[in-house]
Amino acid sequence: MKSVAVITSPRMLRSALYPRKKFQLAWKRKCHKEFIQSDVVARATTTYGSLNRPLGRDPDLPWGIANRITAEIARAMAIKTIRCLDTAERPLLVVTTTPSVTKCTRMWKIDAEPPLGEVNLLKECKDWHPRKKDTPYVQVSAMYRQVLQRICSPPERIREYSFRINTLKRTDLKLKSFPRAITDTLIDMVEDMAGYGREELEQFRQINLQESTYYQNLGSTEAERRQTLDDLKEEKKNWRPQLFKLPQLALGTNPPTRCDCSNENIEDIKADLTVVTPTPPHTIVVASQLSQQKRTDDFRRKNNEPVIQSKSAALQRFGVPFFEKLC
């Protein structure tokens, strides 16, 4: 008669649930973050599988483990859904208010590992003076550029990082992604500076509005106050996706396509971006049709492949008028 093994400890239970080789591998927090931010988590389903069999003296133990795993998957799906809602495309909001430090309701600080350091963000923003002719979107981008240069020591190492909406879709694998805590802090700080950092404007927070002084000052009647509060919540929801793109513009990883700024402001942004990410002298960017060719040439340079820059090649690609414009 074959002997039957009885599981009497959590270690024996884990050995029975998972293959030994997989169990010996150390679980990395990075893998957990990649799973949370991946597209697979939206399609994840839970099943108890072999946990239905009796496992010794403690039959409730496997159900506890299964419920813990189910809760982790549900949490990951919720985080992914919130991230998609924050970065969804919405109509460009016409913003008339200028972000200011005086509107902040709390202190904002960053404390990260080197080369990023501990920085008081509000103190750095006090030294920033926006230009009056710029739109609020351009002003926020300029403020991001100043802050990003000061949170890194030395400032030149900021070129090693990139601000990505989805960390799994990388155009340049050599660049590191900013830590999630830093990106969330920067975005929440600008929201607070724009006047959207009040607790009453949070979508999923219950608060007694009748005891709120901020809510009582929104209008003279209850209907007017409720309508004003709903309008502010809608403005905050439309403003947030743009805050994910403005740091990309500040780092030079995303061209200024949807910001409501004039051509003069765009040229000023390009000139300022050379401080953070200087353009190589052999690269000339004068039209949008060069963007695809520029990425191709950069890829060839990284792989030590020849790049065609002759006059005949330029004539074949862009025509005589465009080549004369380059010259």
pLDDT at residue 31 is higher than 60: yes
- Determine if the pTM surpasses 0.85: no
pLDDT digits (tens, 9 = 90+) for 132-145: 777 777 777 777 77
pLDDT digits (tens, 9 = 90+) for 88-139: 655 555 555 667 777 777 888 777 777 777 777 777 777 777 777 777 777 7
DSSP string, 144-202: HHHHHHHSBSSGGGGGGEE--SSTT--S-TTSEEPPHHHHHHHHHHHHHHTT---GGG-
C-alpha distances in Å from residue 198, one per residue of 86, 209, 215, 222, 232:
18, 12, 10, 19, 10
All structural domains of the chain with their residue ranges: 10-86, 101-278, 280-327
pLDDT at residue 284 is higher than 80: no
